[in-house]
Structure 1
Amino acid sequence: MSLTNQKTTEEIALGIRRRVFFHTMKNKGGYLSQACSAAESLALLYNEFLKLGEPTLPKVPLPFRGVPSADNPDAFTGAGYHGPAAPEYDRFIISPAHYALVIYCALIEVGRMDEHALDHFNKDGSSVEMIGAEHSPGMEVTTGSLAQGLSMAAGVAFARKRRNEPGKVWVYMSDGEFQEGQTWECLAAMAHHGIDNIRVIVDVNRQQCDGAMSSVLDLGDLASRVAAFGATCRSIDGHDLQAMRDAADSAEAGKPLVILANTSPFQGMNFLQKRFPRLHYVRFKSAEERLEMQAALAAELGVSPNEMEGA
């Protein structure tokens, strides 16, 4: 649920890509391909799917105040940017913490965070971390090593179901998390307990830090495997907004819904195809390559020369 009420989902998706692009160019590196693959699904979540209240944290993020504990009343979690955890509102668990920059840009695009929040990105003492933790904007929990977020979300969803709370639990995942056994155990547990108030969106971009997933640990027919574990599984084009909407409305009683959003890690920035599959974190090999990439991506994203000043 957007707080701006002025932008279309398409405009928000483009805005996410542009912001991550500017940040990457300015900082000589960044998680650029995740913006390419995830922009549409995150724009849909924040602008249309999620039922959230007003943020409870300031638009310019607070500095890190320590981890939550009974002895630390000043601690906070990034869930405050999603509003209060009231029964009628949805909860949103972000599992791949390395998508943090893309999440921050999504929060800015929908008016939940100030654009100057990125001035604090990856700075000592800041909560705006490069790899999100529970205190980072938009992050409700620290998902540890990859693939722990789904289990946490399932526990929250099970508790909400037992309390008859109307709010749903949404989860954002990367496809690499299906290389981990904990994900499959969680799917089986959700099916067994009939946890049907959970919605899982998976960014299936088929690349990871070590290269193409097919060369690291191929997942095969992921849709069939997920369905075999008892979930309702929809495999769709993750850049097709209407396909995403239809999939989100197709949940079945008694079963968790898993949407496999098949995406491209260079969607909207085709120049990056030259780097595939080494796209997990984009660094520039030379000043010349940076200039070449900057010019090519700016043209693809419709960025003017004036906008490029400072990047």
Structure 2
Amino acid sequence: MSNRKTSSEIALGIRRRVFEHSMRNNGGYLSQACSAAEQLAWLYNEALHIGDPTLPMIPKPFEGVPSADNPDYHTGAGYNGPFTPVHDRLFIAPAHYALVAYATLIEVGRMAPEGLDMFNKDGSSVEMIGAEHSPGMEVHNGTLGIGLSTGAGLAWGRKKRGETGKVCVFMSDGEVQEGQTWEAIQGAAHHGIDNLWAIMDVNDQQCDGAMSSVMEVRDIATKMRAFGAIVVEIDGHDIEAMRQAKQEAHEGQPLIILARTSPYQGMDFLKKRFPRLHYVRFKSEDERRDMNIAIAAELGIEPVQLDQH
């Protein structure tokens, strides 16, 4: 798809959409937009070789679980283009980044803005925690830590079939507290699955606060290398650094880009909430008003018009 916007412009658009949505809906995943906007913008706008969407711009409602008796069932992967041997596949492992992923799809012209109006509504496929039928999603990754295994399995199958398309997994650093992530790295290295690469949003935050306060993970780059990955550490808000990292040679091994980020990049007002940033819900109408004014100014937009209670 053609897109005249730069990846930096798309990243700003992602933050604006997530902010506006969160203001109107009394909360949202603001810190994930702060930390991951550049990564998702770069993936869709530059890094991935994907075709035009195969699903309607306005998402279909939830059509039931997959079964032989449900011919209407679909995954949300059609927003990432068709499944062909030459196109890349993307797995978004942390399902709670769904709001940011939907904003990305809108910014790159793959989903209509009206899609966000369906967010977290009964009967909608635009789930709050992304599921396999949600826009941009192909499998259910709601159990954090299974995404890299899923990507590795698909990449191995594609390699055996001689397909040239690669498999990319977008991850979050909370996944390194799950043993399955380490098994996936080890398995991918052992089997030479080098058509697999990942970029991890390392914002040092998770549901219960700072990563180190939940379970110290220490030097994950060193550990990943020991398990067999090629690892590049970058500033996750530096798009040029992402471009260079993806060029790293990794024959016979998976590539993992550790993108170190800030959970309040572009929204410094959120520092007041640190380290409780996983899901930002307003503590009072006064805080909602102050946050609205302050963050809108940071993002270069007008404050969101809020309903008066």
Q: What interval of TM-score do these two structures reach, taking the shorter chain for normalisation?
A: over 0.9
Q: Which amino acid aligns with 1:242?
A: E
| From 93, 97, 111, the counterpart of 1:95 | 93
Match of 2:32 in 1: 34
Match status 1:191 vs 2:189: yes
What is the match of residue 277 of structure 1?
275
Following TM superposition, by how much is the alpha carbon of 1:45 offset from its aligned partner in structure 2, in angstroms? Answer: 0.1
Cα contact 1:9–1:43 (8 A) shared by 2: yes
Structure 2 partner of 1:309: 305
Q: Contact conserved, 1:4 with 1:111, CA < 8 A, in 2?
A: no
Q: Give the letter aligned to residue 243 of structure 1.
A: A
Query: Where does the alignment leave 5 or more consecutive residues of structure 2 unmatched?
Result: none
What is the aligned partner in structure 2 of residue 51 from structure 1? 49
2:59 to 55, 58, 61: 61
SS at match of 2:193: coil
Q: 1:122 maps to what in 2?
A: 120
Alignment deviations for residues 185-235 of structure 1 (CA, whole Å, 9 cap, x no partner): 111000000000011000000001111001111110111111110100001
Task: Write the deviation string for residues 93-130 of structure 1: whole angstroms up to 9, x where unpaired.
Answer: 11100000000000000000000101100000000000
Q: Which runs of 4+ in 1 moved over 2 A?
A: 308-311
Tell me the amino acid that sits aligned with residue 50 of structure 1: L
Question: How high is the sequence identity, in percent, across the aligned residues?
Answer: 66
* Partner SS, residue 108 of structure 1: helix
Aligned partners of 2:239 and 2:261: how far apart in 1? 12
Show the 5 A alignment for 1:100-249: 100-249=98-247
* Equivalent residue letter for 1:198: L
Using the TM superposition, give the Cα deviation of residue 91 of structure 1 relative to its aligned residue in structure 2, in angstroms: 0.3
Aligned-pair distance for 1:12? 0.1
RMSD: 0.9
TM-fit CA distance, 1:310 = 4.8
1:298 aligns with 2:258: no
Distance 1:18 1:4, change over 3 A: farther
Distance 1:279 1:310 in 2: 22
AA aligned to 2:207 is C
1:266 paired with 2:264, answer: yes
Q: 1:4: Cα distance to partner?
A: 4.4
Per the TM alignment, residue 149 of structure 1 is displaced from its structure 2 partner at its CA by 1.0
Structure 1: runs of 5+ lacking an equivalent: none
Count how many residue pairs are aligned between Structure 1 and Structure 2. Answer: 307
Alpha-carbon distance in 2 for matches of 1:269, 1:140: 30
The two structures have a TM-score, normalised by structure 2, of 0.98
Contact residue 130 and residue 142 of structure 2 kept, 8 A = no
Q: Secondary structure at the match of 1:224?
A: helix
- Secondary structure, in 3 states, of the residue corresponding to 1:29? coil
Is the CA contact 1:200–1:257 (under 8 Å) kept in the aligned structure 2?
Answer: yes
Residues 281 and 192 of structure 1: CA distance in aligned 2, closer, same or farther (over 3 Å): same
